[in-house]
Amino acid sequence: MPINPNMKTIVIDDMMTMRKIITKMLKQIGFTNIQEADDGATAWPMIQQAQESGEPFEFIVSDWNMPKMSGLDLLIKIRATEGIKDTPFLMVTAEAEQSNVVKVVQAGVSNFVVKPFKPDTLKEKIAKIFP
């Protein structure tokens, strides 16, 4: 499925600076319909509400380490929820350790990108999700 620049996307990160950087990179790639959340606990009701309204998020970009609900916990919730369980999910992380990568892969992550990264790397990771 090719990248639809208007696909409804949510960027989740507890650091506002990182959210702004990722959002800016997504816009450089061509994304136009981006919302933001500061934590998995904030994002989850937004994701549920979007799905209930019939306009679900089509792409989720989430940090792993967040205080109230981690990206991994959010991913597990999404993968267990009918109607949104197949939503493409890109994990952004500083966790390059093999055992941690295995955890998100087993949880059903679509792809992951290790911080810090450049726009080209982000585009490459997204292209693998939407070939």
Task: Decide if 5 contacts 59 (C-beta within 8 A).
Answer: no
- Please write the tens of the pLDDT for every residue from 31-87: 999 999 999 999 999 999 999 999 999 999 999 999 999 999 999 999 999 999 999
Confidence of residue 2 (pLDDT cuts 50, 70, 90): low
Two tokens at 41?
């606990």
Task: Decide if 56 contacts 83 (C-beta within 8 A).
Answer: yes
Closest-CA residue to 117 (of 21, 13, 35): 21
Helix (H, G, I), strand (E, B) or coil at 77: helix
Instruction: Return the CATH number of the domain spanning residue range 9-129.
Output: 3.40.50.2300
| Residue with the two structure tokens 């919302």 | 35
Average pLDDT over residues 9-13: 98
Break the chain into its structural domains and give their ranges: 9-129
Strands (E), 44-116: 59-63, 89-93, 111-114
d(CA 110, CA 50): 20
Omega within 30 of 0 (cis) for the link into 116: yes
